[in-house]
Structure 1
């Protein structure tokens, strides 16, 4: 509801500027300037209710994570269920921390939706009783390696949501503003007109900043997440040497973790390379996030390896 009000206010400001510009063009430069839209001017009870509810949910989820750790007798990061409840909580906390520094309320539906979906799957599919740690996990490296991986996953999740909004806003703006070329077939014209009408109904995207601002925010989040994921891979290699006597053994989990690192490294390089900033680099970032989810789901549940216990 709050984002809908923000979108309506931005559309009203655009119309007012267009009217003022039309008046200035016909009557001269005497028309009064239209007031610029400011997000802070849009006050809403919905915003306060949503923020309080999200903070309360984060507190309850944090209590649940701590309670699971107390029940299990160790840090709650040893199974997919525990990783999910902790990882989704970290994603929500990352959003709340960023929100405390700047207004990114437009990310809230994506973050809360992802967290709700993750918690639903955790409770219905991934849940298991708390047990003691397996011998391979009885190491201080569990705290170091997995905690960094969880924080990196939470940050990369928020960055992926910002990237998805960037692509949606970019696609909407491009298609609405585009002038159809001459000589288009009737079927193509009808399809394009229907597509434009649908995109115009997505007025909630008016509450989202311009694609360039979203890209800048996503880049900062991905950069921090990439650094943490680098430490995740490094800590995992050191732990592997401590537990199994080798740093690297081409285990499926190790390979996928390295693939994720390569994809995000390619994204950061593409983002700073002439001609790749914008939509192209955003697609690479989303591919990295898909690989991250596959590493947590498919690799844990399908492939057999030394990390198979993480899927229990």
Structure 2
């Protein structure tokens, strides 16, 4: 039995998170505009005291200040976003990933959390947020408008504990794959001669490639586990582990592409640009599976996307 009041609160928190993410993006745009030296976030100057001693002091650039404010807003938006998902689950009395609206919301949350963790570990990657956050905003806008579904129960086939394992791992891995997909695109842009004045404010190409590889290494096992859980769930629900359903097929193709990327990065003789193109191809398959297969192609998974 759904609770309409909690569902309304959940939608409000969703809208609030979307607004806060938008404000964070504006600050990131300002940060990118002020950015001059990608490798330097702090400038150390000497401050003379009356005693004659000189003390080192960190003077933050305007770019760094705006960037830190953007990260703080993203953290606030993450809390609002998480609250919206929790309220959605409480209102429906189930795991809140039973339709496209809920699925996209959870994917975006995973992407933002992964982004915040990445910035925490590698602050030099912060300017990349100007390209990550817009993708999240577009997905959330589409999910909250065209793909919105009122809170309620799901079809019987989805009423299984396997939904927690299969869908959750698919959500987290898909959200994380957004980060290396963007990083690999920017890596290719950084190495090219096109838009040089725009791209020179990005982190160095080697750093972008390293981040893309490390995040993919973290997301790939989760994605693999999600496929295995999905096969087990399919056997319990439909009597077979694999049936070459369109969504299953595209998900498997994406898995092969990401496996090829990891193999290419670990193989001597493969240049990083060629591997980056493979990584971009894998992310393209994830997006294709998310929208085209769920919304256009008929299959056993279609009920989960409408």
Instruction: Give TM-score scaled by structure 2 length.
Output: 0.80
Residue matched to 1:62: 82
State which structure, 1 or 2, has the greater radius of gyration over its C-alpha atoms.
1
Task: State how far apart, in whole Å, the 1-side matches of 2:68 and 2:245 are.
Answer: 48
User: What's the CA shift for 1:200?
Assistant: 4.0
After superposition, the CA RMSD in angstroms is 1.5
Note if contact 1:166-1:214 (Cα within 8 Å) is conserved in structure 2.
yes
Note if contact 1:300-1:308 (Cα within 8 Å) is conserved in structure 2.
yes
User: What's the CA shift for 1:102?
Assistant: 2.0
Residues 134 and 122 of structure 1, relative CA distance in 2, 3 Å threshold: same
Residue matched to 1:155: 176
The equivalent position to 1:106 in structure 2, one of 127, 133, 138, is: 127
After the TM superposition, which segments of 4 or more aligned residues of structure 1 sit over 6 Å from their partners?
none
- Is 1:201–2:229 an aligned residue pair? no
Task: State how far apart, in whole Å, the 2-side matches of 1:276 and 1:297 are.
Answer: 32
Note if contact 2:98-2:158 (Cα within 8 Å) is conserved in structure 1.
yes
Residue matched to 2:272: 278
Please list the CA deviations of residues 142-191 of structure 1 after superposition, one character each: whole Å capped at 9, or x if unmatched.
000000001101111011111111111111xxx3xxxxxxxxxxxxxxxx
Residue matched to 1:9: 37
Structure 1 unaligned blocks of 5 or more: 11-36, 176-194
Note if contact 1:212-1:278 (Cα within 8 Å) is conserved in structure 2.
no
Task: State how far apart, in whole Å, the 2-side matches of 1:200 and 1:299 are.
Answer: 36
Residue matched to 1:210: 204
Task: State how far apart, in whole Å, the 2-side matches of 1:120 and 1:272 are.
Answer: 38
User: What's the CA shift for 1:209?
Assistant: 2.0
Aligned positions, number: 258
Residue matched to 1:311: 305
The secondary structure found in structure 2 opposite 1:128 is coil
Bigger fraction of residues in helix = 1
Task: State how far apart, in whole Å, the 1-side matches of 2:116 and 2:246 are.
Answer: 34
- Is 1:85–2:105 an aligned residue pair? yes
- Is 1:136–2:194 an aligned residue pair? no
Structure 2 unaligned blocks of 5 or more: 1-29, 44-59
User: What's the CA shift for 1:275?
Assistant: 3.1
Residue matched to 2:245: 251
- Is 1:296–2:298 an aligned residue pair? no
Residues 226 and 277 of structure 1, relative CA distance in 2, 3 Å threshold: farther
Note if contact 1:106-1:208 (Cα within 8 Å) is conserved in structure 2.
yes
Task: State how far apart, in whole Å, the 1-side matches of 2:71 and 2:220 are.
Answer: 28
User: What's the CA shift for 1:232?
Assistant: 1.0
Note if contact 1:301-1:308 (Cα within 8 Å) is conserved in structure 2.
yes
The equivalent position to 1:43 in structure 2, one of 26, 45, 61, is: 61
Instruction: Give TM-score scaled by structure 1 length.
Output: 0.79
